[in-house]
């Protein structure tokens, strides 16, 4: 428990326990004393108040008795006057003088007639005829009630003294009031109210009387007599309550500011309020004394208890102190020895035994730790790396041989040297950012350089935070490798790659290497130029990621074949950054020494120009150079396809075989160039004579062919043949002259299952027939003979010429 006073933790346990017990005793004693005093004070105050009330009640009763006895005396006297039946005032004076007892009881007794005039006076006749009390309230009330009363206090008109009057009417025989006897009592008369001043409440307490009109009848302060109780602005709550009817005791403050215990009791005969004021200090002086004694006693008790607690704590904690000393000795000792003295059979003994057990366990753990540290050291000393551990204050708690050797340190420096002191300064500076990070809890890896014997080397340093329970960083582990060889190899490899890239970037082809995971190991700069993907972005990424899923999906089966060991080549036309290009791509499996495929080389050549040249050559190979018409090869390919199509459609094809008449003589007479010109014009007219879908071609020399596809019958073929003959009729205008040229045509319509060769034979035969018939005509070929034989196609050049 943490005590609220900062000084207490610095005190010994003994002192703290004593202080604790002392505090508890102090608080308990004070609490009990305070509670006890509270009840004692309340009871004593109640007893004092009760005593005050009883005293004042007794005084009130005594005064009641005084009033009663005087009233009885006056009544008896009055009754005596009535029984004498005195007719005149003379006898009254004598009667008064005869009653000595009246003088003892009252200050004066007087008879007044109904006119209020004084007729007899106990204190002498001198005032007779001089005093009239008709206006006095007590006179009027007595006459009206025809009964005796006690008056309100008033000042005597003669003596000026404060008085009250007690009256008794004297009735005549008719029952009417004849005289009023007034017996006066001086309020300060010694044996009446005056004796109140002898009654004391404490040293300065006093008594007072007021009537229900609030007029002060008696008070030690004479100036207040017959004044109102609240005259002069002074108010007293207790008196006001008593005037209103309260009887009992209460505390209040008088007009002088004195706190007092007030007691009130009514005097029954007059209904006056008899009050006593007992200054509080005096009334409760005894209580305060009791209180002082009680507190002093409590304090003494606390001190005694504290001293006792200290002695007890000291005695009880002595074994604990011995245990503490034993613990301190044991801590410094290399091997633990249990306490010589047998521990007591209590909690301290339990503590001592537990400490023994803990120390034994610690010793065992230390031995185990030392063994594992030896093992760790053996292992790490043989590692080609620096292995170390630093605590959060950067103090080295472990370092292997390589670590210590960096600055010629020894195992004795462990626990003392810091990270900075364990490293060459230039190495430490490179690790500063990493250390800041690891101290913030983030593992880091730093590469850097070092210098040894004037040579530069490379290191790779891993810093790992040691974060314990609750996320507290206890320190960090350091593992540093010399990576000079790897770095040099990497630099060499980077140089090779640079050279390779320099070469391959200038090859007009895409060059790449992928591993078995289809990851791009290398690619040249043409990927950037042609596809817009940089080698950096492609390297180390799978093909599908580097070039996109769509690109990959098409090549997936081809790649699979290449990875299976096949050299795969394919062509593809694609829209590249350099335009629409045809690429010929080859997947060349890469093999290791055992012949297993370890990856692929990918080579994509731009064969667009080559392709275009090939296509041109191809077109040229199919075209007759002189007329621009398809040549024989092209025609035969087309005719075969057309026949196959027609066969599927169930329709025939028609072959027109043409030969220019007398062409040899044109050549011979006009020259070969003229012959060529005729051939060109002939070819042009021939092309114009047929539909787009029909094919006209130069077959050989002056021989031409037309293939009509999907003909309905011979009539349609004849119309075409006629059109051709008609087309040749206009003269042929040559450079030097104009001439006429005609042609002969053999027309053959294919029959079911007939091949091209057979169709040619029949058309050729028909042509031959047309020539024979006189030329410039066409002849329909004869149907296929039932047993074809003999003639075949291509024929030997017929000797038709
Ligand atoms: N100018 C020119 N002549 C050619 C060409 N090719 C072939 N010839 C000649 O064409 C002639 C063909 O003659 P033929 O068809 O045998 O004889 P012809 O005079 O036409 O006889 P008929 O066909 O019976 O009317 C030969 O003299 C060939 O040398 C060519 O490309 N240019």
Q: Any idea where the domains of the chain sit in the sequence?
A: 85-188, 327-378, 383-482, 495-608, 622-780
Backbone angles phi, psi at 295, to 5 degrees: -65, -40
Taking the centre of ligand 1 as the mean of its atom positions, its distance from the CA of residue 703, in whole angstroms, is 9
Superfamily holding 495-608: PAS domain (3.30.450.20)
Q: Whose CA is nearest to atom 7 of ligand 1?
A: 701
Q: Whose CA is nearest to atom 28 of ligand 1?
A: 664
Taking the centre of ligand 1 as the mean of its atom positions, its distance from the CA of residue 701, in whole angstroms, is 6
Q: Whose CA is nearest to atom 10 of ligand 1?
A: 664
CATH: 3.40.50.11240, 3.30.70.270, 2.60.120.330, 3.30.70.980. Which one for 622-780? 3.30.70.270
Paired tokens of 570 = 């394919």
The atom number, within ligand 1, closest to the CA of 672 reads 1
β-bridge mates for residue 117, sequence order: 132
ipTM score assigned to the predicted complex: 0.92
CA-to-CA separations, 731 to 433, 594, 703, 740, in angstroms, rounded = 101, 80, 19, 5
Taking the centre of ligand 1 as the mean of its atom positions, its distance from the CA of residue 676, in whole angstroms, is 10
Give the whole-angstrom CA distance, residue 248 versus residue 262.
8
CA-to-CA separations, 48 to 29, 263, 282, in angstroms, rounded = 27, 11, 11
Q: Whose CA is nearest to atom 13 of ligand 1?
A: 664
Q: Whose CA is nearest to atom 30 of ligand 1?
A: 701
Which stretches of 505-659 are DSSP H helices?
A: 526, 535-538, 543-547, 549-563, 608-621, 632-649
The atom number, within ligand 1, closest to the CA of 775 reads 25
Best of 632, 660, 664 for a ligand 1 pocket test (most atoms within 8 Å of beta carbon) = 664
The atom number, within ligand 1, closest to the CA of 661 reads 25
Taking the centre of ligand 1 as the mean of its atom positions, its distance from the CA of residue 750, in whole angstroms, is 28
Question: What's the pLDDT at 305?
Answer: 79
Q: Whose CA is nearest to atom 12 of ligand 1?
A: 664
Class of the CATH-defined domain 383-482: alpha beta
The atom number, within ligand 1, closest to the CA of 671 reads 1
Please enumerate in sequence order all residues whose Cβ is within 8 A of that of 287, keeping only pairs 6 or more positions apart, or say none.
40, 41, 44, 45, 48
CA atoms within 13 A on the CB side of 437: 13
Q: Whose CA is nearest to atom 24 of ligand 1?
A: 801
Taking the centre of ligand 1 as the mean of its atom positions, its distance from the CA of residue 704, in whole angstroms, is 12
Taking the centre of ligand 1 as the mean of its atom positions, its distance from the CA of residue 473, in whole angstroms, is 107
**Predicted TM-score (pTM) of this structure:** 0.41
Fold for 85-188, please state it.
Answer: Beta-Lactamase (3.30.450)
Place of tokens 């040619």: 760
Taking the centre of ligand 1 as the mean of its atom positions, its distance from the CA of residue 322, in whole angstroms, is 142
Fold equal for 85-188 and 495-608: yes
C-alpha Rg value of the chain to the nearest Å: 76
Which stretches of 237-346 are DSSP H helices?
A: 237-243, 280-283, 285-332
Best of 657, 666, 675 for a ligand 1 pocket test (most atoms within 8 Å of beta carbon) = 675
Question: What's the pLDDT at 787?
Answer: 66
Q: Whose CA is nearest to atom 27 of ligand 1?
A: 664
Q: Whose CA is nearest to atom 29 of ligand 1?
A: 664
- List average pLDDT for each run of 10 residues in the chain, which is 801 residues long: 54 75 82 89 89 91 89 90 74 85 88 90 86 90 91 81 89 87 80 70 87 85 82 79 91 87 91 90 86 87 81 81 83 80 82 85 87 88 91 92 88 90 90 94 94 89 93 94 90 85 88 94 92 91 90 92 95 91 94 93 93 88 92 93 90 95 93 94 94 93 94 90 95 90 95 90 95 95 76 57 31
Residues having CB closer than 6 A to ligand 1 are 659-665, 667, 672, 675-676, 679, 701-702, 771, 800-801
For residue 794, cis peptide bond before it (omega within 30 degrees of 0) = yes
Give the whole-angstrom CA distance, residue 277 versus residue 203.
11
Q: Whose CA is nearest to atom 23 of ligand 1?
A: 661
Taking the centre of ligand 1 as the mean of its atom positions, its distance from the CA of residue 675, in whole angstroms, is 8
Q: Whose CA is nearest to atom 6 of ligand 1?
A: 701
The atom number, within ligand 1, closest to the CA of 675 reads 1
Give the whole-angstrom CA distance, residue 383 versus residue 404.
13
The atom number, within ligand 1, closest to the CA of 771 reads 24
What SS3 class is residue 168? strand
Question: What's the pLDDT at 8?
Answer: 53
Helix (H) or strand (E) holding 667: helix 663-670
The atom number, within ligand 1, closest to the CA of 663 reads 20
The atom number, within ligand 1, closest to the CA of 659 reads 23
The atom number, within ligand 1, closest to the CA of 800 reads 24
What SS3 class is residue 694? coil
Instruction: Tell me whether strands 653-660 and 154-155 are parallel, antiparallel or unpaired.
Output: unpaired
């Amino acid at each position: 428990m943490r005590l609220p006073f900062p000084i207490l933790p610095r005190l010994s346990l003994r002192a703290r326990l004593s202080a604790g017990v002392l505090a508890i005793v102090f608080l308990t004693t004070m609490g009990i004393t305070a509670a006890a005093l509270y009840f004692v004070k309340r009871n004593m105050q109640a007893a004092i108040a009760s005593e005050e009330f009883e005293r004042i009640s007794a005084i009130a009763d005594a005064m009641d008795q005084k009033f009663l006895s005087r009233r009885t005396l006056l009544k008896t006297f009055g009754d005596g006057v009535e029984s004498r039946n005195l007719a005149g005032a003379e006898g009254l004076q004598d009667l008064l003088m005869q009653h000595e007892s009246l003088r003892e009881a009252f200050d004066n007794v007087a008879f007044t007639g109904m006119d209020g005039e004084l007729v007899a006076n106990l204190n002498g006749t001198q005032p007779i005829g001089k005093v009239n009390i008709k206006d006095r309230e007590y006179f009027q009330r007595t006459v009206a009630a025809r009964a005796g009363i006690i008056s309100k206090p008033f000042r005597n008109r003669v003596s000026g003294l404060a008085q009250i009057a007690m009256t008794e009417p004297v009735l005549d025989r008719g029952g009417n009031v004849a005289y009023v006897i007034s017996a006066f009592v001086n309020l300060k008369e010694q044996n009446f109210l005056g004796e109140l001043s002898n009654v004391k409440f404490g040293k300065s307490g006093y008594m007072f009387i007021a009537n229900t009109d609030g007029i002060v009848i008696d008070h030690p302060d004479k100036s207040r007599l017959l004044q109102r109780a609240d005259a002069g602005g002074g108010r007293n709550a207790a008196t006001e309550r008593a005037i209103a009817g309260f009887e009992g005791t209460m505390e209040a403050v008088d007009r002088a500011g004195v706190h007092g215990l007030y007691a009130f009791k009514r005097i029954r005969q007059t209904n006056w309020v008899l009050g006593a004021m007992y200054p509080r200090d005096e009334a409760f002086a005894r209580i305060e004394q009791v209180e002082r004694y009680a507190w002093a006693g409590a304090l003494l008790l606390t001190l005694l208890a504290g001293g006792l607690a200290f002695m007890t704590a000291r005695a009880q904690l002595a074994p604990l102190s011995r245990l503490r000393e034993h613990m301190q000795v044991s801590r410094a000792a290399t091997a633990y020895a249990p306490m010589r003295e047998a521990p007591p059979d209590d909690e301290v003994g339990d503590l001592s035994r537990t400490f023994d057990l803990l120390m034994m366990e610690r010793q065992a753990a230390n031995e185990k730790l030392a063994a594992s540290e030896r093992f760790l050291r053996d292992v790490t000393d043989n590692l080609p790396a620096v292995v170390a551990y630093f605590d959060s204050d950067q103090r080295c708690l472990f370092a292997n041989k390589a670590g210590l050797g960096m600055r010629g340190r020894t195992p004795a420096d462990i626990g003392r040297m810091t990270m900075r002191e364990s490293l060459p300064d230039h190495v430490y500076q490179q690790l500063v950012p990493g250390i800041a990070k690891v101290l913030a809890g983030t593992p880091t890896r730093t590469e850097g350089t070092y210098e040894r014997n004037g040579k530069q080397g490379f290191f790779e340093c891993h810093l790992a935070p040691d974060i314990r329970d609750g996320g507290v960083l206890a320190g960090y582990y350091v593992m540093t490798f010399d990576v000079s060889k790897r770095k040099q190899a990497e630099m060499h490899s980077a140089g090779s790659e640079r050279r390779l890239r320099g070469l391959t970037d200038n090859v007009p082809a895409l060059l790449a290497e992928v591993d078995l995971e289809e990851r791009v190991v290398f690619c040249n700069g043409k990927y950037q130029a042609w596809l817009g993907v940089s080698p950096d972005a492609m390297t180390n990424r799978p093909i599908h990621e580097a070039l996109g899923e769509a690109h990959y999906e098409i090549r997936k089966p081809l790649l699979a074949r290449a990875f299976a060991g096949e050299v795969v080549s394919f062509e593809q036309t694609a829209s590249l950054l350099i335009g629409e290009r045809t690429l010929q791509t080859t997947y060349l499996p890469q093999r290791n020494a055992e012949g297993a495929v370890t990856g692929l080389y990918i080579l994509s050549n731009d064969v667009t120009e080559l392709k275009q040249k090939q296509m041109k050559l191809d077109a040229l190979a199919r075209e007759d150079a002189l007329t621009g018409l398809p040549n024989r090869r092209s025609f035969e390919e087309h005719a075969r396809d057309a026949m196959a199509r027609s066969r599927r459609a169930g329709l025939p094809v028609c072959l027109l075989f043409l030969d220019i008449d007398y062409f040899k003589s044109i050549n011979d007479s006009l020259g070969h160039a003229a012959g060529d010109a005729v051939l060109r014009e002939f070819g042009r007219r021939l092309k114009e004579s047929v539909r787009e879908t029909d094919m006209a071609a130069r077959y050989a020399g002056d021989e031409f062919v037309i293939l009509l596809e999907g003909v309905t019958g011979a009539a349609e073929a004849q119309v075409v043949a006629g059109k051709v003959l008609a087309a040749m009729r206009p003269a042929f205008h040559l450079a030097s002259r104009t001439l006429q040229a005609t042609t002969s045509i053999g027309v053959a319509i294919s029959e079911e299952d007939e091949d091209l060769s057979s169709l040619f034979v029949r058309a050729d035969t028909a042509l031959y027939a047309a020539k024979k018939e006189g030329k410039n005509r066409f002849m329909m070929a004869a149907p296929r003979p039932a047993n074809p034989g003999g003639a075949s196609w291509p024929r030997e050049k017929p000797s038709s010429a």
